[in-house]
Amino acid sequence: MISVGHRSGLLDALAAGPATSAGLAARSELAERYVREWLAALVTGGVVRWDPASAHYTLPAEHAASLTRGGRLGNMAVYAQHVAMMGALEPLILQCFASGAGTRYEDYPRFHEVMAEDSAQTVVAQLFDHVLGIDDGLVPRLEAGIEVLDAGCGRGAALIELARRFPASRFTGYDLCRDAIGHAQRSTAAAGLDNLRFAVRDLSHLDDAARFDLITTFDAVHDQKHPQRFLDALFAALRPGGRYVMQDIGGSARLENNLDFPMASFLYAISCFHCTPVSLGQGGEGLGTMWGWETAEAMLRSAGFAEVRRTVFAHDPMNVWFLAHKRE
Ligand SMILES: C[S@@+](CC[C@H](N)C(=O)[O-])C[C@H]1O[C@@H](n2cnc3c(N)ncnc32)[C@H](O)[C@@H]1O
């Protein structure tokens, strides 16, 4: 119901002020009978308040802050869309449980669209206030002009923002999925940027030796075919003195450490339905969403990175961020 409220615009419309079901239906240009049933689900779920005397429904400001577009705390309704996606995949995932086989990215309708909405909040909106601040040297180097790769870039919104802000630098985005790259290329053309290129590329075979000064991955390592080999290839693709910035899931590799992690059951569920099977489907290891920051840190060191630094940003409690250096 949260996902329906997000996609239909009902949550945003209700945040504009109390309304009857007919008033909210008119405000949203939706059918009253469905809107009333949706409201009842949210009232009994404790999300929306209802005043029987006036028949008005209210989305309290403290709920609107984390359930609406532009909400002060980030929009948790974006993540609810994964639940609907998982429901659509249940028959296939049940087959995987029986056979041990994996899935393909094409099996997931709307995956790149939802993922782009997710990273619009945790990455793109925070690039200049938080993400680039992970290393004091990044902004001056980007202003001077460097080569940047975003590996597993999806629809590429982060690179588009960076390419706009730093015209002296050159940006490359690689992803396995043709539809995501097609979207990124159309957005690049619409923005009129000539310092940015996107290409379909299977990063299981990345062999661009010492080409880049900065590499980023945003939530794109744990579900690779072989995460260690992938990190080894990223290390090789960096020039000496280069930097690697990695956002990945912030859980621990040890189940007992995740008992108090509020997102843990959601993330293990996503792991069953997406991150584990897409890796297995490429013939990979299937480490899963909760491979753990300990595993990530150990793999970065094993790849050869020096000075591996780990940060959790307040705006992004689901993820952990690493800054890793390749020695001069
Ligand atoms: C969880 S998504 C993150 C996408 C994007 N970085 C973002 O933050 O929106 C992981 C991405 O890795 C890409 N990917 C997975 N396996 C890949 C491979 N072998 N080669 C290239 N890209 C791959 C997927 O297509 C997907 O876009």
pLDDT in tens, 140-152: 999 999 999 999 9
Pocket test of ligand 1: the residue of 176, 218, 234, 278 to mutate, having most ligand atoms within 8 Å of its CB, is: 176
Give pLDDT, residue 55. 97
Label residue 17 by pLDDT band (50, 70, 90): very high
DSSP 258: G
How far is ligand 1, taken at its centre, from the CA of residue 274, in Å? Answer: 12
Mean pLDDT, residues 301-314: 95
Is the Cβ atom of 219 under 6 angstroms away from ligand 1? Answer: yes
Ligand 1 atom, smallest distance to 220 CA:
10
CA distance 175 to 153: 6
Q: Judge contact between 148 and 216, C-beta under 8 A.
A: yes
Task: Classify the C-alpha dihedral 203-204-207-211 as positive or negative.
Answer: positive
Label residue 170 by pLDDT band (50, 70, 90): very high
Give pLDDT, residue 99. 97
Looking at the predicted structure, is the pLDDT value of residue 59 above 80?
Answer: yes
Give pLDDT, residue 207. 86
CA distance 163 to 173: 11
Is the Cβ atom of 105 under 6 angstroms away from ligand 1? Answer: yes
Q: Judge contact between 317 and 250, C-beta under 8 A.
A: yes
Give pLDDT, residue 210. 86
Q: Judge contact between 307 and 325, C-beta under 8 A.
A: yes
CA distance 228 to 230: 5
Give pLDDT, residue 48. 98
Is the Cβ atom of 119 under 6 angstroms away from ligand 1? Answer: yes
Is the Cβ atom of 204 under 6 angstroms away from ligand 1? Answer: yes
Pocket test of ligand 1: the residue of 122, 224, 282, 285 to mutate, having most ligand atoms within 8 Å of its CB, is: 224
Give pLDDT, residue 190. 96
CA distance 141 to 306: 19
Burial 45-63 (b: 16+ CB within 10 A, else e): eebbebeeeeebbbbeeeb
Give pLDDT, residue 72. 77
Is the Cβ atom of 203 under 6 angstroms away from ligand 1? Answer: yes
Mean pLDDT, residues 272-295: 96
Give pLDDT, residue 70. 82
Give pLDDT, residue 73. 78
Ligand 1 atom, smallest distance to 122 CA:
8
Ligand 1 atom, smallest distance to 204 CA:
19
Ligand 1 atom, smallest distance to 282 CA:
19
CA distance 22 to 41: 16
Residue whose C-alpha is closest to residue 146's, from 214, 237, 245, 236: 214
Is the Cβ atom of 129 under 6 angstroms away from ligand 1? Answer: no
Ligand 1 atom, smallest distance to 225 CA:
19
* Per-residue pLDDT reduced to its tens digit, 199-257: 999 998 898 888 999 999 999 999 999 999 999 999 999 999 999 999 999 999 999 99
- What is the DSSP code string of 125-164? GGTTTTGGGGSTTHHHHHHH--EEEEET-TT-HHHHHHHH
Mean pLDDT, residues 37-56: 98
The domains found in the chain, sorted by start residue, are 2-72 (1.10.10.10), 78-325 (3.40.50.150)
Pocket test of ligand 1: the residue of 175, 181, 275, 319 to mutate, having most ligand atoms within 8 Å of its CB, is: 175
Give pLDDT, residue 71. 80
Ligand 1 atom, smallest distance to 247 CA:
8
Give pLDDT, residue 74. 86
* Per-residue pLDDT reduced to its tens digit, 181-213: 999 999 999 999 999 999 999 998 898 888 999
How far is ligand 1, taken at its centre, from the CA of residue 185, in Å? Answer: 16
Residue whose C-alpha is closest to residue 122's, from 326, 315, 322, 324: 315
* Per-residue pLDDT reduced to its tens digit, 68-119: 998 877 899 999 999 999 999 999 999 999 999 999 999 998 999 999 999 9
How far is ligand 1, taken at its centre, from the CA of residue 195, in Å? Answer: 22
How far is ligand 1, taken at its centre, from the CA of residue 174, in Å? Answer: 9
Is the Cβ atom of 6 under 6 angstroms away from ligand 1? Answer: no
Residue whose C-alpha is closest to residue 166's, from 115, 207, 127: 127
Mean pLDDT, residues 294-307: 96
Round the average pLDDT of the chain to a whole number and report it: 96
Looking at the predicted structure, is the pLDDT value of residue 46 above 90?
Answer: yes
Label residue 51 by pLDDT band (50, 70, 90): very high
